[in-house]
Structure 1
Amino acid sequence: MATTTTTPINETAAPVLGTSAKTTPVILTEPAIGKVREIMATQDPIPAGLRIGVVGGGCSGFQYSMSFENQSGMMDKVFNFDGLKVFVDATSLMYLNGCVVDYVETLEAAGFKFENPNTKSTCGCGSSFSV
């Protein structure tokens, strides 16, 4: 008996950085995917996916936000990064087009790093940006 796999209409299979990056507006690197999965595994209950967004605030006008979600919203675009669902609302998607989210660990710090080609400037501490 043959089985078929269906993808929800609003879900897009997203490539990992290094593959055809032009097919999705937001890219997560392999280290970022791995770290998100690691953190998700410690949650009870385990969330359905990661929400990435842009919110007003900070000294430059906008800040990135990341949180776990149990389901997508009606206006969300859902990307699938090797089984990891990433939810992005329509407004944030405008600001995140072409953005690469990476996870970096150095001797000084560790955390998620957003490389966004849409930013015109960032604040001194790097936690907010303007477009």
Structure 2
Amino acid sequence: MATAQVTPEVVEAPPVAPATPVKMTDAAIGKVKEIMATQDPIPAGLRIGVVGGGCSGFQYSMSFENQSGMMDKVLRFADLKVFVDATSAMYLNGCVVDYVETLEAAGFKFENPTVKSTCGCGSSFSV
């Protein structure tokens, strides 16, 4: 009795777009561009990063930069360049940066799905 051999069908998966470590809301982009316009000279872009410190171990950082570093991922949001170093990109994966104005305060808010806990004041986090 002969057994038939079945050849599996090869189906190629569609290409996956590279993950963007950070997303920014329109409000955040607008506020960054507004602040950048007041700088002299106008910076090339915004650096978003994660640095050690705070009660829980890590803190977010934002600063203006005149150029990207060699190992930076350069993200573009409309005509705003955002620089993220390779180490920070690991901690920022899936993070959304928003700008929020309320009666009590105004500022940038990071919504990061990788965060396990934050400190009481909310300025630092752990993963």
* TM-score class, shorter: 0.7 to 0.9
Structure 2 CA distance for aligned equivalents of residues 53 and 69 of structure 1:
12
Partner residue in 1 for 2:113: 117
Q: Rg bigger for which structure?
A: 2
Query: Number of residues paired by the alignment?
Result: 110
Equivalence map 1:1-20=2 (5 Å)? none
Partner residue in 2 for 1:101: 97
TM-score (norm 1): 0.82
Secondary structure, aligned partner of 2:115: coil
Per the alignment, do residues 91 and 23 of structure 1 end up closer, same or farther by CA in structure 2, a change over 3 Å counting? Answer: closer
Q: Any gaps of 5 or more consecutive residues in structure 1?
A: 1-21
* Residue 25 (structure 1) shift: 2.0
Q: Any gaps of 5 or more consecutive residues in structure 2?
A: 1-17
Which of residues 87, 91, 95 is equivalent to 1:91? 87
Per the alignment, do residues 129 and 103 of structure 1 end up closer, same or farther by CA in structure 2, a change over 3 Å counting? Answer: same
1:99 maps to amino acid: C
